[in-house]
Amino acid sequence: MRKFLMTTALALTMSAGLATAAENVEVLHWWTSGGEAAALDVLKKDLESKGISWTDMPVAGGGGTEAMTVLRARVTAGNAPTAVQMLGFDILDWAKEGALGNLDDVASKEGWDKVIPAALQKFSKYDGHWIAAPVNVHSTNWLWINKAALDKAGGKEPQNWDELVAMLDNFKAQGITPIAAGGQPWQDATLFDAVVLSLGDDFYKKAFIDLDPEALGSDKMKEAFNRMTKLRSYVDDNFSGRDWNLASAMVIEGKAGVQFMGDWAKGEFVKAKKVPGQDFVCMRFPGTQGAVTFNSDQFAMFKIADDKVPAQLAMASAIENPTFQSAFNVVKGSAPARTDVPDTAFDACGKKAIADLADADKNGRLFGSMAHGHANPAAVKNAIYDVVTREFNGELSADDAVKELVSAVAAAK
């Protein structure tokens, strides 16, 4: 009897210990803008409703460059967070280092293999094992246009390069800043994703996915840089270093006509209570209709102390819940990471994002975003960023940019 009581007491203490440790997740992320924070809150509240508390580790900086630097320091110090917002090839790099945990049990119990598209699984799995939980799918080849400005410009959505330039000239004549831009390397690269894609699916694939030196050094690439120079002539004097969400605000407030940005920008419009088709227009970058350059935010799950693993697994499970996927992505501006989530709760742009993604996937027109780490590992991505930014800022001619692109990519490969 005494032995039984002692065993029971021990079991109770242990489970109590587990319960306490299981209650918390520490999450590193770069979701610090108004729209991003609102989406993050959906996740936080969802976990809190399941008895899991949240320790926030925000690292500001769109695209996540700064967050990745902080992460490296944390892991080197032997103090990895529970879960980390991460993009594409970065996840695989950490997996290669053996730093990530294993989500196989949850994934197989919940049938993730069947509902998460292969394009995402490529980054959620390493060596056949689940290492990350995808929370969304964003895409980068979008335009976010102020509706009143577009109406003044004749109301027609530009279908090709010439019509795009005509619209920008009209915005200039209206006395507003034609393009709301934030001069940061990842933002320049986001625009470059769309410009390169607009010169052909095949060109995008050869240049950014295959890293084919011929495509990187081609006349088409020179044309892409020339278009960047042209677009640069429509930004305001204060664009350098501006955060992307402040650029979104310029369009929201009617101070600028259009922003070229991934659909996280829509999170800012939604947060400002703006309605698609009424206050703003979302459309694909002219010449890229039907094709999608995507990136997916995933929570990479790090190897952590055993007693913290239950909370980590509970977080992964909560992220893949279809109801959560809908609630979160409606606010974030992204499409769900599962193919079985109804689009009912999404606005017109969200419905379009979901449909475009499915079509592009079906038609072989879905490509990983170079700017957001889904085409190449960080070393190559950063080499491309550097050339694109220097050209955009007039430090390189289009001719020199093409040459530098070829050599920078070769050196980084």
Cβ atoms within 10 Å, residue 230? 14
Binding pattern to ligand BGC, positions 30-49, x when CB under 6 A? x-----x-------------
Considering the complex, state which of residue 123 and residue 225 has its C-beta at the smaller distance from ligand BGC: 123
Considering the complex, state which of residue 36 and residue 391 has its C-beta at the smaller distance from ligand BGC: 36
Considering the complex, state which of residue 58 and residue 200 has its C-beta at the smaller distance from ligand BGC: 58
Minimum distance of ligand BGC from residue 200's CB (angstroms): 24
Q: Six-digit token pair at 332?
A: 């974030």
Minimum distance of ligand BGC from residue 13's CB (angstroms): 41
Kindly state the helix (H) or strand (E) to which residue 55 belongs, with its residue range. strand 53-58
Q: Six-digit token pair at 347?
A: 């606005």
Considering the complex, state which of residue 294 and residue 302 has its C-beta at the smaller distance from ligand BGC: 294
> Which is it for strands 177-179 and 256-260: parallel, antiparallel or unpaired?
parallel
Binding pattern to ligand BGC, positions 249-268, x when CB under 6 A? ---------------x----
Q: Which stretch binds ligand BGC (CB under 6 A): 58-66, 105-113, 155-163, 351-359?
A: 58-66
Q: Where are the beta strands (DSSP E) in 197-262?
A: 256-260
Closest CA relative to residue 300, chosen from 167, 110, 120: 120
Q: Six-digit token pair at 116?
A: 């998460």
Q: Which stretch binds ligand BGC (CB under 6 A): 57-65, 90-98, 212-220, 231-239?
A: 57-65
Q: To 10 degrees, the CA torsion angle through 353, 259, 33, 90?
A: 60
Considering the complex, state which of residue 33 and residue 218 has its C-beta at the smaller distance from ligand BGC: 33
Binding pattern to ligand BGC, positions 196-235, x when CB under 6 A? ----------------------------------------
Binding pattern to ligand BGC, positions 121-150, x when CB under 6 A? -----------------x------------
Binding pattern to ligand BGC, positions 265-304, x when CB under 6 A? ------------------------------x-x-------
- How far apart (Å, rounded) are the C-alpha atoms in residues 403 and 215? 11
- How far apart (Å, rounded) are the C-alpha atoms in residues 255 and 43? 33
Minimum distance of ligand BGC from residue 243's CB (angstroms): 9
Burial label for 251, CB within 10 Å (0-12, 13-18, 19+), is: buried
- How far apart (Å, rounded) are the C-alpha atoms in residues 204 and 369? 10
Minimum distance of ligand BGC from residue 263's CB (angstroms): 9
Dihedral sign for Cα atoms in the order 317, 323, 326, 329? negative
62 binds ligand BGC (CB under 6 A): yes
User: Which positions ≥6 away from 199 have C-beta within 8 Å?
Assistant: 220, 223, 224, 287
User: Which positions ≥6 away from 162 have C-beta within 8 Å?
Assistant: none
356 binds ligand BGC (CB under 6 A): no
64 binds ligand BGC (CB under 6 A): yes
Q: Which stretch binds ligand BGC (CB under 6 A): 62-70, 198-206, 218-226, 343-351?
A: 62-70
- How far apart (Å, rounded) are the C-alpha atoms in residues 162 and 165? 5
**Footprint on this chain of ligand BGC (rule: CB under 6 A):** 30, 36, 62-64, 87, 138, 264, 295, 297, 372
